[in-house]
Structure 1
């Protein structure tokens, strides 16, 4: 399992872009994680699924609401990562008002979740292998903080906790 001081693993995530611009095509676009983290401080939070109760009511909305405070603390980008496809993540982000605040990143095959070891097996609930609930800060590709819920709950991966950590860096 990934830990503080580790290089964040490379994977390809997908992001649904609705508005064409800056050379981006419409639709799901691949995002090479390692390339996208270079020279940046990125807040990443993982969650089990788009449109699920805690994720929709608390986890993602907290980061969206605090996006400006994260920027003021030196965070270049905020990523929401979930084992869903890019179309679902795009629709969920649109519904939550995430545009320009939080990048909604699809890990449809759980490639990143497996590489970090931050997984949650919900097969018995009909959901398969998912991302666990966590938050972390990555600075120039290296994990500098990690808040892992270790399977369940919502106590340490919230926006307020990660924001305080970002402000103390």
Structure 2
């Protein structure tokens, strides 16, 4: 995507905790929209090939989680992690990572990912359709900055990581803040 472009309007099927349901699995379906996540906020969105995968679970997600206060200090309201996984998988991954700051967005059907041009085939890994790794600064639903890993293509043999790292986004935000202050 390019800067200045508005995010596509899609629906996300989420699962939210609802104690009124009771039992061992007190969750209900809740439809969320692009606007629910992005309207009226300045957020970081980062997307990755899959929950529970090594780079995602070891570096990218923990880096954003641990750096949340730094992002807030630079004007970020929320940090979202999106993957072409269903709500059950994303919720369990968030739980396993003990997330307190980063919120997960399940793009189970890949509709959002497709519409931002980041849906790729990962059949070589047995994944099927997944998201290419990227990150963005989104301001009120509009792309302010875009950070895409190099090599976007189907069945890429490597898993590049660097452009979409928390450090890269923090550096951009710091430079942006300096430029606005000057």
Fold match by TM threshold 0.5: yes
Match of 2:81 in 1: 80
Summarize the alignment of residues 1-169 of structure 1 with structure 2, pairs less than 5 Å apart: 2-18=1-17, 26-99=27-100, 101-150=101-150, 151=152, 152-167=159-174, 168-169=176-177
Match of 2:156 in 1: none
Look at both structures and tell me which one has the larger radius of gyration over its CA atoms: 2
Number of residues paired by the alignment? 164
SS at match of 2:82: strand
Q: Structure 1 residue runs of 4+, over 4 Å off? A: none
Q: Which runs of 5+ in 1 are unaligned?
A: none
What CA RMSD, in Å, does the superposition of the two structures yield over aligned residues?
A: 1.8
In structure 2, what is the Cα distance between the partners aligned to 1:80 and 1:15? 13
Q: TM-score, normalised by structure 2?
A: 0.83
Q: TM-score, normalised by structure 1?
A: 0.89
In structure 1, what is the Cα distance between the partners aligned to 2:27 and 2:170? 32
Q: Which runs of 5+ in 2 are unaligned?
A: 21-25, 153-158, 178-182
SS at match of 1:89: helix
SS at match of 2:160: coil
Q: Is the 8 A contact 1:8 1:34 kept in 2?
A: no
Q: Shift of residue 120 of structure 1?
A: 2.4
In structure 1, what is the Cα distance between the partners aligned to 2:124 and 2:164? 24
Structure with the bigger RCO (C-alpha within 8 Å, sep 6+) is 1
